[in-house]
Structures are given as structure tokens and as C-alpha cells.
Amino acid sequence: MRILKPGDPCPCCGQPIKEGLPTETIMLLSWLQEGKDLLAATKGVKNETTDH
């Protein structure tokens, strides 16, 4: 997982992440971005367990 840094776009609103946010907030935003990236990567991939 890539840890977001100040200036990176926020995964929620797209605005640049501000300096001075608590570590917990940065980790949560990074986790959300990771989920969005995984969803985008798997979009359109056939699920072999449910598609027969």
C-alpha cells in the first residue's frame, strides 16, 4: 500500500491533502485509496466462482 502524502489528491474529494493531518487520518485516506485502486483494477474481471 502506498502511503499518501500532503499534496496528493484526497480519495474522497480530490482536493490536495493538507499538511499537519494526524497519522491516523493519513492512514485511513491511504487505505481508502488502496480500495479504490483495487476496485478499478478488478472492474470487468470475470469472477470464476459466481459466473458459470
1 touches 34 (CB < 8 A): yes
If you search the block for the grid coordinates 499534496, which residue do you land on? 7
* pLDDT at residue number 46: 77
Q: Provide the mean pLDDT of the chain.
A: 92
* pLDDT at residue number 52: 53
List the grid coordinates of 12: 474522497
- pTM for the structure as a whole: 0.79
The 10s digit of each residue's pLDDT in 27-52 is 999 999 999 999 999 997 877 666 55
Choose among 16, 14, 11, 4: nearest CA to 36. Answer: 11
Burial bucket for residue 51 (CB in 10 Å: 0-12, 13-18, 19+): exposed
